[in-house]
Amino acid sequence: MTAGSERSIASVLVAGTTGLVGRALISLLETDPAVGLVHALLRRAAVDVPHHPKLHLHLVDFHALPALPPVDAAFCGLGTTIKIAGSKDAFREVDFDHVVSVAKAAHAAGAKCFAVVSALGANAQSAVFYNRVKGEMEAAVARIGFDCLVILRPSLLIGDRSGLGQPTRPGEWLAQRVLEPLAPVLPAAVRPIPAATVARAMIRAVRHTKPGVRVIESAGLWALGR
């Protein structure tokens, strides 16, 4: 870790709590002695989220977020797929509108640093709709004015979605089965990456980063999240 000195975080916000990265984030933040309160945003009750004295759950409407409790930093792992969302418009609503809304609400709540999961290949000028939306999201969040912004661009995320009550993603399942046996010889830049590795990298980046925008590609996430 080459950036900045390590910092304690009195209060953090997590959005995307029921996703692969979000659930890993919650687990790591709860047991991190340098982290105080953990405020997690949910759009519906999740009975499988284990109780922890640090954890405070907030049921919210991502279309109209309320004023949030004061936080020092925020982590956003919100995201879906076009197939699960049902349409390109519905996908954009989650991966752009809701992410930007969380970023604005976190900034208003005092967050100095914001870390967001984007995607490998994110580019606002991309001809690929998915990559273009991710790139546009990155640009919109960068305009909000955080002291530090950490953008993570992982390759294919791997982990157990069945334990999260999420629907199976056939494309991810097939890619994972094909690529996992090749992982030892694949470059880190494109190798499938565990969600827990991304979550660790996310936390370490926030605790060690300098002011400004920091983009971490998948190879960097492997190194930072070991």
Query: Rounded distance, CA 140 to CA 125, Å?
Result: 14
Quick check: 1 pLDDT over 50? no
What does the DSSP 8-state code read for residue 211? S
Positive or negative torsion for Cα 169, 170, 175, 177: positive
pLDDT (0 to 100) of residue 3: 42
What the block records as the tokens of 42 is: 């949910």
What the block records as the tokens of 186 is: 């694949």
CATH topology of domain 9-224: Rossmann fold (3.40.50)
Per-residue model confidence as pLDDT tens digits over 117-168: 999 999 999 999 999 999 999 999 999 999 999 999 999 898 875 655 555 5
Per-residue model confidence as pLDDT tens digits over 59-107: 999 999 999 999 999 999 999 989 889 999 999 999 999 999 999 999 9
